[in-house]
Amino acid sequence: GQNIDQPTEMTATEGAIVQINCTYQTSGFNGLFWYQQHAGEAPTFLSYNVLDGLEEKGRFSSFLSRSKGYSYLLLKELQMKDSASYLCAPDNYGQNFVFGPGTRLSVLP
């Protein structure tokens, strides 16, 4: 089975930096995905970590520690359009995605 935990809600100010954490326990693990979901829309792919460490992709970076079952998504220079839910999903050998509950991020002016 899988157990995934994320904070339910976070609030930050435009221009700031925010870190969204995800802890997981899975029976099989290849890597970890992060998706962004705006209200009423489909999840869209943000990042995929296979190896331990930080991967940077523009304003968004994602970190993984396989031994600790821990990942975080780091968003820099926050913009209003970053207000969305952020979903982490352990990659269970490419089979079903069990998404975490999602963290709803509100970016305030």
Partner 1 sequence: EPEVTQTPSHQVTQMGQEVILRCVPISNHLYFYWYRQILGQKVEFLVSFYNNEISEKSEIFDDQFSVERPDGSNFTLKIRSTKLEDSAMYFCASSEGGTSGTNTDTQYFGPGTRLTVL
Q: Which chain residues interact with partner 1 by CB under 8 A? A: 30-31, 33, 37, 40-45, 48, 50, 87, 91, 93-102
Closest CB to partner 1 among residues 34, 78: 34
Query: What is the closest distance, in whole angstroms, from the C-beta atom of residue 109 to partner 1 in the complex?
Result: 25
Contact 78, 16 (CB under 8 A): yes
**Positive/negative CA dihedral, 96, 41, 48, 88:** negative
Least spacing, CB of residue 13 vs partner 1, in Å:
25
How far is CA 21 from each of CA 17, 41, 50, 69, 102, rounded to the nearest angstrom?
A: 13, 22, 17, 11, 10
Closest approach, Cβ 67 to partner 1, in A, equals: 16
Residue with tokens 């304003």: 59
Our CB check for partner 1 shows the closer of 77 and 93 to be 93
Closer to partner 1 by Cβ: residue 16 or 54: 54
Chain centroid offset of residue 16 CA? 17
